[in-house]
Amino acid sequence: MSDLKKHIGFWMRIVSNHVSHSFAKKLENKGVTVAEWVVLREMYESKDPVAPSYIADLTGLTRGAISKLVDRLLDKELLTRKESSDDRRYQEIELTREAKKLLPQLASLADENDGEFFSVLSPSERKTLTELLKKTAELNRLTKIPIE
């Protein structure tokens, strides 16, 4: 039987868990979860209102899970929701002004978190690590955005 510590996945999991946990703590101080951050960040990229189903497809989460996240973000006044006048089942969600002000702060926390963990590597090593992880994701067709 192979030693657990000989597996690349073991080392990736250790690093990933610690990076994610640290980031979650930073976000918690701003009143946002990692899952909420991902939704807000992806919506920030789109610029326009989007259907919750778009976020579900992007993240790989179920529509039910996205619905719960959207409800939480509505309660936090970081999203607005508008129903279609033609079809009440169709909704679009949009970032509020408050969310647009908060997102650069959250992005800075993400950058800070990466710096804390990966500054131990040289710029060349960070570039190589990123390229290898991207290649692994692409060749294994890993396209869904991680939420947890």
Q: Which CATH architecture has domain 4-139?
A: Orthogonal Bundle (1.10)
pLDDT attached to residue 47: 76
- For residue 82, the surrounding DSSP H or E stretch is strand 79-83
Note the pLDDT tens digit of each residue in 20-45: 999 999 999 999 999 999 999 988 88
Average pLDDT over residues 65-75: 93
d(CA 27, CA 70) in angstroms, rounded, equals 17
Tokens 């868990």 belong to which residue?
17
Structure tokens at 6: 């000989």
Structure tokens at 31: 């009143």
d(CA 53, CA 93) in angstroms, rounded, equals 10
d(CA 130, CA 124) in angstroms, rounded, equals 10
| Side-chain-facing half-sphere of 81: CA atoms under 13 Å | 17
In the chain, the percentage of residues whose pLDDT exceeds 70 is 95
* 44, 103 contact by CB (below 8 A): yes
* 28, 42 contact by CB (below 8 A): no
Note the pLDDT tens digit of each residue in 108-138: 999 999 999 999 999 999 999 999 999 999 9
Our CA angle for 117, 36, 86, nearest 5°, is 150
Average pLDDT over residues 79-96: 81
Tokens 């930073």 belong to which residue?
26
Q: Coil, helix or strand for 134?
A: helix
d(CA 74, CA 81) in angstroms, rounded, equals 8
pTM comes to 0.83
